[in-house]
Amino acid sequence: MSLKFWQFQNQELQSPFAPRYRYIGADAVIEDIDFGAIAQLLLDAEDQMLKELKPTHDGGTGLGLNSITSRFMSYNPLTWTHSEDIMNLREKIYTLYLEFHKTLKIDRQPMFVQCWANIVRPGQEIKLHLHDISEYSYLSGNILLQGSPSEILYHNPQNALVRPEPHRIQQEPGQITLFQSCIPHQVPEYTGEDIRVSLSFDFLIREYVLARVKPRNQRCIKPWDMMAEISLEEFDDGESLEIPWIR
């Protein structure tokens, strides 16, 4: 299991006003995990989550409010410690997270993770969207858990609308991608006969959590490693936060 890097980068500049950019992503295949079992956990929980969790928005995916995607601020599958498969998966994600930083020679900092599931049935799609373009924007990721082979497209943020140049990845269960949160991406209409289930996640720096996440939603934002120390006093909702470490 190791990352294969890809990027969108400007050509040699011929004008002082031409855009200079470099956007980076990387993908890998994770093995030795029962992804079908994780997918089934999510499918079994779907009806209850739709009934009991309040939707916010679907993040521009087009999956609508009647989806567990739209409840992304209310749960975090990477904290489901009753599943050995999920515990193994988050360890492998963490290994790739470390490799991403080491390869690019980027120092790590206190980090949190937010994770949610996307359930796509035949005929549905995940529309072009992105996760964050703020000054706090960091890294995101997704992994396919179940479904027929299908494409996911990552677009150069500089020309996603005018002259798209997508980086195409053929996904099968276990295929994972880490990418800058500002990179637009989409899944075309799903033509498989089964249900497509994936996990998406964002790595969030500490400053983002404190500045942007409302106190009532901070329970689904979990520290990603032992660097992510945070004082509970900095949250102003007056309630205790029970946050398990992801080691």
Mean pLDDT of the chain: 87
pLDDT, one tens digit per residue, over 15-36 is: 999 999 999 999 999 999 999 9
Query: Which residues, in sequence order, are CB contacts of 181 under 8 Å at separation 6+?
Result: 130, 131, 132, 133, 137, 138, 139, 140, 202
Model confidence band, residue 218 (pLDDT cutoffs 50, 70, 90): low
What pLDDT was estimated at residue 109?
A: 83
CA 77 to chain centre: 12
167-171: strand order across its sheet: 126-129, 185-187, 150-154, 167-171
Distance CA 237, CA 126 (A): 34
Selection from 143, 193, 199, 130 nearest residue 172 by Cα: 143
Please say if the pLDDT value at position 152 is more than 80.
yes
What is the tens place of the pLDDT at every residue in 153-193? 999 999 877 778 899 999 999 999 999 999 999 999 999 99
Per residue in 47-56, pLDDT (tens digit) is: 999 999 999 9
Q: Inform me whether the pLDDT recorded for 230 exceeds 60.
A: no
Residue 76's closest CA among 107, 94, 92, 53? 53
* Percent of all residues in the chain with a pLDDT value above 90, rounded to a whole number: 74
Q: Per the structure block, which two tokens stand in for 141?
A: 């990721």
- The C-alpha atoms of residue 171 and residue 149 are separated, in whole angstroms, by 5
Residue 95 pLDDT greater than 60, yes or no = yes
**Which tokens go with 204?**
């969030």
- Beta carbons of 185 and 154 less than 8 angstroms apart: yes
**What pLDDT, on the 0 to 100 scale, is given for residue 219?**
60
Query: For residue 162, what pLDDT is reported?
Result: 78
Cα 71 to Cα 49: distance, rounded to the nearest angstrom: 8
In order of 68, 125, 204, 207, 222, the CA distances from 236 in angstroms are: 27, 38, 19, 15, 17
| Per-residue confidence band for 239, with pLDDT thresholds at 50, 70 and 90 | very low
Residue 234 has pLDDT above 80, yes or no: no
Model confidence at 246, in pLDDT bands (50, 70, 90)?
A: very low
Show the domains of the chain with their CATH numbers: 20-234 (2.60.120.620)
* pLDDT on residue 163: 79
